[in-house]
């Protein structure tokens, strides 16, 4: 595999550009999936309390034999644990389940509940050393900017849905202006909207002897947008990581830019019904 560059966050922490995500992977399958990702070359794993598979991720980390300082582990705190003390307890629970003394990155999963209290708890954890970097997920620029205005630490990352059909360029600009690194979840549109059959991506894939998924991921890499990818198929797991041995031309990048707006977000976290539904999701 070609040299994989890292992304430097606003506090100096180095983050791999591609992470392996375990969203919707059943706990019984997660350990195997993470070990296969490690074998393929991934060193960044993205989980969350809401995924309910942190313990399986922890078992894979322990079984891998990979030195801890070569790994980058991210988790996210859920809404029901919002607030100073609940978030502190939730973070301790996540560390215990993962079998770790320190997280590389911890995110607030969504901008609901007392996330200002959660942020204070994460700031304290950062100062204490149990987390190397802290950030948010699914925050629009207005909520992100307000959080920055009223707190000490600027989020290192805002993980949001980003792919060729929903490019978030204005949001990305607002984040970069405030030194926040945008990170893409759903970089392949979660296999929806026929993104991987798009004629432009298909033509570019033929030209570069790559898959359409690799073209979409390479497009993000060249924009300095790290991404979280997920697959339980070993061939796809390896394929998604093989995006550092070629480059898209400026003309290629411009063609992909024309695809923006073909779809909206998978879910709108400003929609009232969505807010009700997400707040009603309780972890057991």
Inter-residue contact 183 to 227 (CB < 8 Å):
yes
User: Of 232, 235, 193, nearest to 214 (Cα)?
Assistant: 235
Q: Can 165 be counted among the known catalytic residues?
A: no
In angstroms, rounded to a whole number, what is the distance separating the alpha carbons of residues 92 and 99? 10
| DSSP output for 44-65 | EEE--GGGT-HHHHHHHHHHH-
109 marked as binding residue: yes
Inter-residue contact 61 to 69 (CB < 8 Å):
no
Residue 79 Cα to chain centre, angstroms: 17
For residue 186, the SS3 value is: coil
For residue 129, the SS3 value is: coil
Catalytic residue, chosen from 51, 112, 115, 165, is 51
Inter-residue contact 115 to 86 (CB < 8 Å):
no
Just list the catalytic residues. Answer: 51
Annotated binding site for substrate, which residues?
Answer: 109
Annotated binding site, which residues?
Answer: 109
């Amino acid at each position: 595999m070609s040299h994989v560059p890292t992304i430097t966050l606003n506090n100096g922490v180095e983050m791999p550009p591609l992470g392996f995500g375990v969203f919707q992977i059943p706990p019984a399958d997660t350990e195997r999936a993470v070990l296969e990702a490690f074998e393929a070359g991934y060193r960044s794993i993205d989980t969350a309390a809401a995924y309910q598979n942190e313990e399986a991720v922890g078992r894979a980390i322990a079984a891998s034999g990979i030195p801890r300082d070569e790994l980058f582990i991210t988790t996210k705190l859920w809404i029901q644990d919002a607030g100073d003390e609940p978030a502190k307890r939730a973070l301790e629970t996540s560390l215990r389940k993962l079998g770790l003394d320190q997280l590389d990155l911890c995110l607030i999963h969504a901008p609901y509940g007392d996330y200002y209290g959660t942020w204070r708890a994460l700031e304290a954890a950062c100062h204490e050393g149990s987390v190397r970097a802290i950030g948010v997920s699914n925050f629009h620029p207005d909520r992100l900017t307000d959080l920055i205005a009223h707190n000490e630490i600027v989020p290192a990352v805002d993980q949001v849905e980003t792919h060729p059909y929903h490019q978030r360029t204005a949001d990305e600009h607002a984040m970069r202006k405030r030194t926040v690194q945008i990170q893409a979840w759903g970089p392949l549109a979660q296999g929806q909207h026929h993104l991987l059959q798009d004629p432009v991506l298909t033509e570019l894939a033929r030209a570069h002897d790559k898959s359409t998924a690799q073209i979409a991921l390479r497009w993000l890499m060249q924009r300095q947008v790290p991404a979280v990818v997920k697959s339980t198929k070993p061939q796809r797991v390896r394929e998604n990581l093989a995006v550092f041995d070629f480059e898209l031309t400026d003309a290629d990048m411009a063609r992909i830019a024309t695809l923006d707006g073909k779809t909206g977000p998978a879910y709108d976290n400003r929609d009232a019904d969505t807010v009700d539904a997400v707040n009603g999701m309780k972890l057991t």
